[in-house]
Amino acid sequence: AWIWVLSTLVEQRNWNPGHLALLVVPVFNVNVAVVILAWLLRGALAPRHRAPSPDAPPPELRAKLPPRLARARLIAVEAEDHYLRIHTEAGAALILMSLSSALAALKDHDGLQVHRSWWVARRAVEAARWRKGRGVLTLTGGIEAPVSERRAAAVRALDWA
């Protein structure tokens, strides 16, 4: 209808409804072509989603993280009250989840709970310092994770650092 109004005004024709019927097929064809072209361009120009790193957080944690962090390598999980601070190589984020739920999701990852409020990825450990039965692990990015006396023997047995 809009094309009929415009063409009638531009060409200074009479307001003939028969002219509207003649415009239906060409206007429909142009609209179909434009929609197909837009659909093809959207597919060609859409950003490609990168797959998560093999060392990325498990799906249960990834679902709660921003995409940039969800695809990055997991360094550690730190409990803070009812929240978890998820440390990755791309940064950290706070999510609402219990540590026990996170530990269940991390059971297949190469890491260990080193303190009642810390889980650490094995490949993220750069150094370990020990004093009076307790330890501190220095992780990728300068993060320091405490090692409790109770878990110190297990960490030392793994010889992570």
pLDDT digits (tens, 9 = 90+) for 54-69: 788 999 999 999 988 9
Answer for the pair 121, 58: CB distance below 8 angstroms, yes or no. Answer: no
pLDDT 10s digits, 93-134: 999 999 999 999 999 999 999 999 999 999 999 999 998 888
150: which 2 tokens? Answer: 């109770």
pTM over cut 0.85: no
Answer for the pair 57, 74: CB distance below 8 angstroms, yes or no. Answer: yes
- Rounded mean pLDDT of the chain? 88
What is the rounded average pLDDT of the residues 33-58? 83
Burial of 41: CB neighbours in 10 Å, binned 0-12, 13-18, 19+: exposed
160: which 2 tokens? Answer: 């992570």
